[in-house]
């Protein structure tokens, strides 16, 4: 069983387990009848399956679909009084079993919290937790605007923002969470508060990377970005150019001199190894900027680079997201300050990953492997300084270093291979970490949005930030409702 799975306390009999189920659902039945759905209903059937990955599918005892933040508050209060376990699903894109679903307990879904509106001066967009980023971008495109959100259209709004948020505009505005100016949040006592830089400022800071440890966010108010069109797409090259491609990634990471840029270089093994990079330039009239030449000078086997709206681009990248398969993402990070160090880090990760691949292929038929990918995300000084200028966050990164985050991705067909994949990614990640530690390039930061259930996230934020997060969590949730009754996700204890 994966480390990220929920393990319910054993009561000694199926009867006791059934009692636990009826306890949570019964507690809600007296309070929020109109928003409660059981397994014999169409709503339950839909919501219990409305997840991106098969890994997330479980069997909740009932579904609670609140119509408002106030009704959600009533439900939380009832669940706490009954000492009943629950899970919460926003966009449903975190592919860790038990992170946003639950067996037997109450599944709270945010599907009806659908706020999506602009402020009168169009500087702030208010977004409910039901939305995926494709909804937000499509809405903003009509105004020539964008937001610092997910790079794949199907990614959910709340998960990304509460994890920190890697985004296309990071070198201009920092982490996505640093563009949030206000959170509407339901606390453990059922109250609904507005957290911002003047009202609950400690809670406001903690939500910027602290995930769901403090309450349930029912609205995000975030800054818009004037960005009518961008020049963006994927530039894919053949395996003979892999070394040149990795050198291009290190060149960019070591000197991110143009804040309008964003890249995601990736290697995709298959019948033929391909190297493909997402290139993004925030301009409606400049193509092939100089900083991208190390990539674009490599002959492409395919390219989608062109002018488009962010909405169109997120739909393009979103087409790579295959729903209803099994998947795992694993996060890691190396740090450096020079081209040589960053290239060494990339090379170690790449070599170790590919050395371990044959073991996976030996255990799973090729027809059952949907996707394998290794990608990198450079986070440099401009990104972190922009975040600090907006009040900072809980992530604890040091602007004197260049962080090269990476993600291992495996997507497969057939749950009978779950344990094989889980063991392989743990062994491979352990080997990568050992190798980068030996080289003096390892960093403990694991980006939550790409982390696997067996990984630790908060230790990478640094002792000071972890202590601060613990203090804030105890202040607003003294009984640890969001650590014990809501067991899914990464926890601050």
CATH topology for 116-227? Answer: 3.30.465
Delimiting residues of CATH 3.30.465.10 domain(s) in the chain: 116-227
- CATH 3.30.43.10 assigned to domain 23-109? The reply is yes
Prediction pTM value: 0.94
When pLDDT is averaged across residues 67-80 and rounded to a whole number, the result is 97
pLDDT digits (tens, 9 = 90+) for 189-210: 999 999 999 999 999 999 999 9
Q: What is the rounded distance in angstroms from the CA atom of residue 335 to the CA atom of residue 331?
A: 14
Of the chain, the percentage scoring pLDDT greater than 70 comes to 96
Average pLDDT, the chain: 94
- Please give the CATH architecture assigned to the domain spanning 230-464: 3-Layer(aba) Sandwich (3.40)
Q: Give me the pLDDT at residue 22, please.
A: 61
Q: How far apart are the first and last CA of the chain?
A: 22
Scan for tokens 């393990």, then name that residue: 7
| DSSP letters spanning 40-74 | TSHHHHHHTT--SSGGG----SEEE--SSHHHHHH
How many CA atoms lie less than 13 Å away from 279 in the CB half-sphere? 30
Per-residue pLDDT band for 321 (boundaries 50, 70, 90) equals confident
Per-residue pLDDT band for 93 (boundaries 50, 70, 90) equals confident
When pLDDT is averaged across residues 263-271 and rounded to a whole number, the result is 95
Q: What is the rounded distance in angstroms from the CA atom of residue 394 to the CA atom of residue 374?
A: 26
Residue 368: count of CB within 10 angstroms of its CB: 13
pLDDT digits (tens, 9 = 90+) for 378-425: 999 999 999 999 999 999 999 999 999 999 999 999 999 999 999 999
Q: Give me the pLDDT at residue 288, please.
A: 98
When pLDDT is averaged across residues 331-344 and rounded to a whole number, the result is 98
pLDDT digits (tens, 9 = 90+) for 134-192: 999 999 999 999 999 999 999 999 999 999 999 999 999 999 999 999 999 999 999 99
Of the chain, the percentage scoring pLDDT greater than 90 comes to 92
Delimiting residues of CATH 3.40.462.20 domain(s) in the chain: 230-464
Per-residue pLDDT band for 12 (boundaries 50, 70, 90) equals very low
pLDDT of 89 higher than 60: yes
pLDDT digits (tens, 9 = 90+) for 291-313: 999 999 999 999 999 999 999 99
pLDDT of 4 higher than 60: no
Top pLDDT among 20 and 48 is at 48
CA distances from 238 to 251, 273, 275, 296, 409 (A): 19, 7, 6, 13, 20
Per-residue pLDDT band for 324 (boundaries 50, 70, 90) equals confident
């Amino acid at each position: 069983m994966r480390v990220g799975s929920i393990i319910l306390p054993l009561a000694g009999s199926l009867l006791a387990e059934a009692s636990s189920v009826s306890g949570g659902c019964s507690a809600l039945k007296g309070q929020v009848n109109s928003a409660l759905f059981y397994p014999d209903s169409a709503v339950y059937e839909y919501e219990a399956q409305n997840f991106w990955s098969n890994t997330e599918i479980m069997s909740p005892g009932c579904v609670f679909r609140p119509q408002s933040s106030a009704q959600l508050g009533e439900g939380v209060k009832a669940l706490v009084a009954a000492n009943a376990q629950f899970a919460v699903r926003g966009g449903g894109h975190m592919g860790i079993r038990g992170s946003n679903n639950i067996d037997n307990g109450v599944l709270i879904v945010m599907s009806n919290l659908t706020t999506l509106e602009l402020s009168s001066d169009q500087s702030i967009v208010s977004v409910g937790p039901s939305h995926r980023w494709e909804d937000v971008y499509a809405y903003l495109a009509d105004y020539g605007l964008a937001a610092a959100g997910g790079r794949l259209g199907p990614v959910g709004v709340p998960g990304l923002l509460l994890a920190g948020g890697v985004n296309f505009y990071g070198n201009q505005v920092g982490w996505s969470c640093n563009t949030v100016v206000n959170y509407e949040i339901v606390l453990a006592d059922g109250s609904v508060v507005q957290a911002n830089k003047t009202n609950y400022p400690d809670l406001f800071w903690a939500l910027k990377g602290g995930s769901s440890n403090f309450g349930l966010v029912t609205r995000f108010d975030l800054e818009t970005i004037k960005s009518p069109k961008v020049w963006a797409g994927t530039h894919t090259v053949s395996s003979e150019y892999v070394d040149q491609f990795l050198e291009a990634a290190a060149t960019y990471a070591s000197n991110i001199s143009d804040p309008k840029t964003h890249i995601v270089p990736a290697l995709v093994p298959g019948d033929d190894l391909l190297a493909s990079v997402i290139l993004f330039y925030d301009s409606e009239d400049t193509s092939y900027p100089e900083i991208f030449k190390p990539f674009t000078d490599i002959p492409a086997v395919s390219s989608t680079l062109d002018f488009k709206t962010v909405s169109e681009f997120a739909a393009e990248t979103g087409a790579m997201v295959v729903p209803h398969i099994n998947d795992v993402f694993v996060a890691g990070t190396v740090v450096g300050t020079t081209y040589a160090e960053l290239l060494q880090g990339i090379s170690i990760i790449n070599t170790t990953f590919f050395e371990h691949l044959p073991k996976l292929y030996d255990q799973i038929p090729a027809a059952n492997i949907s996707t394998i990918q290794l990608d990198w995300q450079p986070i440099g000084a401009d990104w972190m300084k922009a975040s600090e200028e907006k009040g900072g966050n809980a992530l604890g990164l040091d602007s004197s270093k260049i962080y090269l985050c990476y993600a291992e991705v495996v997507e497969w067909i057939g749950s009978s291979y779950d344990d094989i994949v889980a063991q392989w990614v743990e062994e491979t990640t352990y080997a990568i970490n050992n190798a980068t530690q030996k080289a003096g390039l390892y960093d403990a930061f694991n980006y939550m949005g790409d982390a696997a259930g067996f990984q630790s996230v908060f230790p990478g934020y640094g002792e000071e930030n972890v202590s601060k997060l613990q203090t804030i969590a105890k202040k607003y949730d003294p009984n640890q409702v969001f650590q014990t009754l809501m067991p899914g996700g990464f926890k601050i204890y």
